[in-house]
Chain A
Amino acid sequence: MTDSIVPLPGLKDRQRLKINVIELPPEEQVKIYLQTCEEGLKILPPLQERLAAVADKGQSMHPEKGAPFLRKELEVYQDGLLALFPRLNAALDMPADDPEVLRKKLAQCQADLAEAQQALFKTQQENRNLRQELDKRQGLIDELQKENSALKGQLAEFQGRVSTNPSEFGAALGQAVDAIQQGLTSLDNAFVDYGLQELDLQTQVNIQLDERKQLSIRFPGLNEQIAPQNLTQLNMRLRPIPKSEREKPAG
């Protein structure tokens, strides 16, 4: 009966190439499964028909004759079924003839699964460690940024404490006077022009004497509290001299 079974097309090639049916495209898998079903339908109905007839006959026989008859017929039935197994095994990617291989494969799968679970647990643990390290570093970054902001504030305050020598201070003041003079004389008013009559400046400064015995002036910073008695009072009053008077010869 096994001779009547037609081998699946391409099965040998797949076995040679070690390609499993389940790895094939679904369309090709369906083709193979349907072909396996057809094989089963060809084999099973004649077997069942024969088995029914054998059972009827066995019931009517004397047990001494019926027992060997039935045993022989069941062996034929078994052969018929066994003929179908290679087709089923091939279609389902099962080893055809070695259950031990299946057990080994199952054991290997279980071992692989245990190993994968262990690797997953390890990865999760590493992930937790990395997260903790990341949080720790983020805390350090926040702390450094805070420190950086504080230093920037101190730097801004320090930059507000620029010292200068008196001549430079005088030049800066002169520029300011010049600015208002120019602003006033360039006005386009129709009836009157204005000029600076007097500029009076009163301020408290810190007079410093450097290593070269040069005086320098420093204004208190905007965020600085200094006792007034520790500062020098600087009063300056500027008045313009009319050109006509300036040009008069001395004496």
Chain B
Amino acid sequence: MSEQITLRPTAAPLTEMLRQVALDIAEAQNALDAHAVATKTERDQSGNDLPVVSFFFPEIELDLSLAFTLARVEGQGRLDVTPANPTGSGFFQSSSFSSRLRARIAPLALVGNPPTEETPDD
């Protein structure tokens, strides 16, 4: 007998989800920074310091399929989100899961520049 798994939607405030995204980006950048720190101490055969090479993400795009719900907390409207489920069964067939949220994140120095390419929705 096959075991049926029931997935239930879990909602969380949009602000919390985006804060978590920022923390994940920080961790990824930390991994890149570790390389730059390592090159600081390296020297060539003549004993000259090698130029420090650092990397960054010119653009990070986050594209989420999710459902928005409005909750009223202490009299204020709050946007909650529920990530869609790939199976699209049960609750996840609801009309609300047709929503998308895309966030483009770039180094501050490049933020004023236009995005590299447009990805209009079909």
Contact = CB atoms under 8 A, between A and B. Distances in A.
Q: Do A and B come from one complex?
A: yes
A90 B60 CA distance: 110
Given A168-B77, A183-B21, A197-B115, A220 B33 contact: no
Interface in A148-199: 159-160, 162-164, 168-169, 171-173, 175-176, 178-180, 182-185, 187-199
A172 B77 contact: yes
Interface residues of B, number: 56
A176 B94 contact: no
A222 B69 contact: yes
A99 interface: no
Given A192-B56, A195-B106, A222 B67 contact: yes
B104 A197 contact: yes
Interface stretch (A4-12, A42-50, A135-143, A225-233): A225-233
A60 interface: no
Nearest to B101: A201
A242 interface: yes
Interface residues of A, number: 54
A235 interface: yes
Query: Interface of chain A, helix or strand or loop or mixed?
Result: mixed
Nearest to A242: B112
Contacts of B22: 180, 183-184, 187, 194
B89 to A, nearest CB: 13
Contact of B15 (A175, A188, A223): A175
A33 interface: no
B77 A171 contact: yes
Interface string A199-222: 111111000000000000111111
A180 to B, nearest CB: 4
26 contacts: A163-B70, A169-B77, A169-B79, A175-B78, A176-B14, A179-B15, A179-B18, A180-B18, A180-B21, A183-B23, A191-B29, A194-B25, A194-B29, A194-B108, A197-B104, A197-B106, A197-B110, A197-B111, A197-B113, A201-B101, A204-B95, A218-B70, A219-B69, A222-B96, A228-B95, A231-B95
Interface of A: 159-160, 162-164, 168-169, 171-173, 175-176, 178-180, 182-185, 187-204, 217-228, 231, 235, 240, 242, 245
Interface of B: 9, 11, 14-16, 18-19, 21-23, 25-26, 29-30, 32-33, 36-37, 54, 56-57, 59-60, 67-72, 76-79, 82, 91, 93-96, 98-108, 110-113, 115, 121
Given A191-B56, A221-B69, A222-B91, 4 more contacts: A176-B79, A184-B105, A235-B121, A240-B112
Query: What are the 8 tightest A-B residue pairs by CB atom distance, in nearest-first order?
Result: A183-B22, A179-B15, A203-B99, A180-B18, A200-B102, A168-B77, A220-B96, A198-B104
